[in-house]
Structure 1
């Protein structure tokens, strides 16, 4: 029977798999776990504890923490009371935390530790009670401060007698969460998403992308405060009975892959770009024979992918591969593929990527290794998935087809419009913005895209990010940035040039790979700033940009490359929590440098481009 709300959805999974592991997390140096029944019992206890604090239907409760088992418990406990969770990125500073808490009308905040608690205290939001997941040694409970454990214990001692009836009566159109947008183009807006918004997604996706199974293990490293991980790495696995293992952090992802050995994973493009760059670097520095074997194996993999894409599905069932190709794939897997797949834990059967544009060459590389990467597209306002590539017919270079029940059309100016049960209820306390973005039921995404002859969607860029040069040419920076990010020596690239005669690129170095290169060149310093000022380092990065953008039109190719010595992070404001560029912040921070770059009259754009090439 289809569930009426997300809590009922989880209760059905608990009934099917009570003793199966639901969540895994690192504790005291090793992974520990809890079963679905234990997970459910802790949700029940926390819900009772929150009820004793006065939480009632429609109240707003913030969750300010990195992804962990208590985040998941909090999410369902809040929802089971008919209340509304307001996730907050743990990486944002206190002034932004204060904005989200205030805009979301949060009366209670569940925070990870003392550091996050201080952000709540520093703000002006009227939070009446804070709950700390991991209190410090000097923690003291007060009338408006509790520990997570004590609140669970209080709930266990004073259970809600009508809890099942309470969550069972929640309708699908009940507000489940308010997720604030990243605010790349202005103040964040609170996106209102209901139980039905998410349930419609799960019903459409489960047999459309990768069919999640109870024996799957999902490694979760993206923040649960982001809608992509919340739906694809939280609700979806829990519906299917899949075990969720939380990575410690993005910095430990390689170790956690080996410890957990996941079968499924969601990610943003940056992880795949880094893995790809590392593999290519090792191959290029290997022996000629290794390079020859590697290139042969990749060619075999591409042939397998092309066969898979061009052969009708019913024929694939009867004849998955020609015998000659099959024998080549088996040999290539033994010699090359498995060694690379072992870096992902050795059991990966599929990865879903969202939150940005993935370079088609990188996607096809992983497909060649028989590690399917399924790209999709969506926004917070669409819960989030709009389109995704199905496992049975994925097309690299696209974000796939609209999911069942969701309609997509392209406006006359190229903007992608979306209609369906996944579209948000609106922006919280912002009817003006709601009316502007939703017209006659169609959500105006702000993205420029096109549908190919088979109905697959290709996203060009954000509508507001398309650069209009003074020559009249239009340039979409995202694909160019994605190409530049293939370089193992470049961490991030930002392409600029709106209103200018030509485009330029601001690039930051990837110190993990730049330092070994500098050492090989006999460069003694390890200072980031000093390295970025060196002529030989600047030449290296300019040559990388020129090489990786050589296939673009002249007007799309960065004529000037500016090496930025600063590290771009979420905390310093250049990146969103999902590692997208905050172009407004970047252009403001480097406005003088950008003006100086374009004011240099001594060297023409063509001379710089020729020099870089």
Structure 2
């Protein structure tokens, strides 16, 4: 067993709740720009005083509509300004927010709203209203339903005009750090989602530690305004933590509801954040788009050399930071300077031009990709956490980033790796338990420790590496235990691959199902002057299969022969949340995938 702790930086709050920051900041600096809001295609500034006034007006409207202290109110929407407005208005009156992914099915919605006994809900548009409407007879507690695109904010503001401001302040003063702020339902790769009880203190601890420890990286350069564009889903704990930290840390924040590149990249260019928080998927997309453009322009060779230079440059800087090397040589520095003008500056421009630092979480990032971005002038600090730890429990420190790891425990947190390799966590960010499920709470919270279910290792400096999930370990019929995560991640490193799932439980050997990235495949076909074929024919293309085989061979270099992927099959379509094969946070639902593709899996084991 190995354990590593980081001493606390911020003291635990003794009074108050999350909404207090909105009112305190407006009183201290009313003209400071707190948020950016996109209206009719243009970004407009929102001062701290204006945001406070909007929060107060909405809070009064909620009271007028019967929302009371301790009531649970659901929000079903994409990431947008109004979600943040509703969050802080609800917290102002001591209500508990239940976030719902906008892609949730009717059955998922009815489970969460019924389990949490939600009394009111705010949805984004008519489709969401119809989803809830289709199960309304099974939700006897639900009394109110508002729709953002039907002017819910205006309706509530009007309803609250006769409510005195002091009524809201009385509610707000009754909120304590121990009060529950939100009930976030885990994605649920197996079984029904569980409601995680996250307190105001959990969020305040997490946000204040992240702001105090990582504040120097929030700005592109000294003296700059700190700004970030939030495009992570606010139904996920990572996006929610970013929201709270931005408000508490006085970071100007904008919202972007679409994760696809066509919508996100123009807003990055217009909003020009000084740092971003994202999942590895975003960084992969930026890199692959840059690589495809270089290939289209006939500059693939130069781009690949620039990538190699960036990786070697960042690797040398990392070695110097840890005292195991002198840093980049003079020749490497000159080469790096040249590629900065030709290649790296364009990569940074794709992220808005000002970004020099970023944080990544949600899943593991490949070490080489992290080194590339660092060498290209954007240091990505990878971290690790769960809903149950209110987002990050570990993160790479600004001074000494160790790429390929998820960093050290954040200040005030302890990480322990148990005898069986399971990662345990302890600190002020650990949640209060599962709603209506004492059995699951007792199994997960043990004497103040959170048993994460993840497997990992701690190095001598306290840097954590995640190696897989306990429940996802495969055992072949020959008795060989295999962790699928590292194999799947390495196969996914290939630009043509969208998803990979490794199978082999109780089977004679390990195999894999692979899906393709449509945009990358289209580019690959164009560059090779190949016709665009229907998906069913495309997956049988010999050259395409050879490319995917290269990805599998690269993954197999990580493991022993007994653990390696013996064979694979390319599927015509990606796994989707719509078909019940992915969680809302895009994690693979392994059992569901193996069941849906049972014929293909069986074919992998026919002699």
Fold similarity call, TM over 0.5: yes
Within 5 A, what are the aligned runs for 1:420-431?
Answer: 420-431=427-438
| 1:283-313 CA distance string (max 9 Å, x none) | 567448725752564255225523552249x
Alignment TM-score, normalising by the size of structure 2: 0.90
Correspondence list, 1:400-419, <5 A? 400-419=407-426
Secondary structure of the corresponding residue to residue 429 of structure 1: coil
Summarize the alignment of residues 513-532 of structure 1 with structure 2, pairs less than 5 Å apart. 513-532=520-539
Cα-to-partner distance string for 1:478-518 (whole Å, 9 max, x where unaligned): 12111111111111111121222221111111110112322
Among candidates 223, 230, 246, match of residue 233 of structure 2: 223
Residues 265 and 350 in structure 2, CA contact (< 8 A), matched pair in contact too:
yes
Is the contact made by 2:381 and 2:396 (CA closer than 8 Å) also made in structure 1?
yes
Helix, strand or coil at the partner of 1:404? coil
Of residues 84, 104, 124, the one that matches 1:112 is: 124
Q: Which residue of 2 aligns with 1:189?
A: 194
Shift of 1:76: 0.8
1:168-567 equivalences in 2 (<5 Å) = 168-211=173-216, 212=218, 215-231=225-241, 233-251=242-260, 252-283=263-294, 286-287=298-299, 290-291=302-303, 294-295=306-307, 297-298=309-310, 301-311=313-323, 329-567=336-574
Structure 2 CA distance for aligned equivalents of residues 156 and 485 of structure 1: 54
How far does the alpha carbon of each residue in 1:372-396 deviate from its partner, in whole angstroms, 9 at most, with x for none? 1111111101112211111111111
Which residue of structure 2 aligns with residue 149 of structure 1?
A: 154
Number of residue pairs the alignment of both structures matches: 584
Compared CA separation, residues 346 and 515, structure 1 to 2 (3 A): same
- List alignment gaps of at least 5 residues for structure 2: 1-10
Decide whether the 8 Å contact of 2:310 with 2:336 is kept in 1.
Answer: no
Aligned to 1:66: 78
Deviation string for 1:111-136 (max 9, x for gaps)? 1010111111112223111011002x
**Aligned position for 2:87:** 75
- Counterpart Cα distance in 2 of 1:329 and 1:536: 34
Q: Which residue of 2 aligns with 1:38?
A: 50
User: Does the 8 A contact of 2:315 with 2:371 survive in 1?
Assistant: no
Give, in whole Å, the separation in 1 of the partners of 2:301 and 2:232: 38
Distance 2:293 2:552 in 1: 20
Offset at 1:209?
A: 3.1
Measured on the aligned residues, the alpha-carbon RMSD in Å equals: 2.5
Greater Cα shift, 392-401 or 271-280? 271-280
Q: Is the 8 A contact 1:217 1:242 kept in 2?
A: yes
Local SS of the residue matching 2:453: strand
| CA deviation vs aligned residue, 1:163-199 (integer Å, no higher than 9, x gap) | 2232123110001000000011211000000000111
Structure ranking higher on relative contact order (CA contacts 8 Å, 6+ apart): 2
SS at match of 1:559: strand
- What residue is the counterpart of 1:19 in the other structure? 31
Asked if structure 1 preserves the Cα contact closer than 8 Å seen for 2:22 and 2:247, the reply is: yes
TM-score, normalization by structure 1: 0.90
Q: Give me the whole-angstrom Cα distance separating, in 1, the residues matched to 2:532 and 2:329.
A: 55
Query: Is the partner of 2:119 in helix, strand or coil?
Result: strand
Question: Which one is further off, 83-92 or 582-591?
Answer: 582-591
Q: Assess, with a 3 A threshold, how the Cα gap between structure 1 residues 549 and 38 changes in structure 2: closer, same or farther.
A: farther
Change (3 A) 1:284 1:471: farther
Give the distance between the partners of 2:32 and 2:580, measured in 1 at CA: 41
SS at match of 2:19: helix
In the TM superposition, residue 226 of structure 1 has moved relative to its aligned partner by 0.3
Which residue does 2:170 correspond to in 1?
Answer: 165
User: Which runs of 5 or more residues in structure 1 are unaligned?
Assistant: 136-145, 602-613
Distance apart, 1:235 and its partner CA: 0.6
Contact 1:220 1:247 in 2 (8 A): yes
Task: Provide the secondary structure at the position in 2 that maps to 1:5.
Answer: coil
Q: Is the 8 A contact 1:506 1:561 kept in 2?
A: yes
Instruction: Tell me the SS of whatever aligns to 2:455.
Output: strand
Pick closer, same or farther for the CA change 1:150–1:335 going to 2, 3 Å.
same
Q: State how far apart, in whole Å, the 2-side matches of 1:324 and 1:533 are.
A: 46
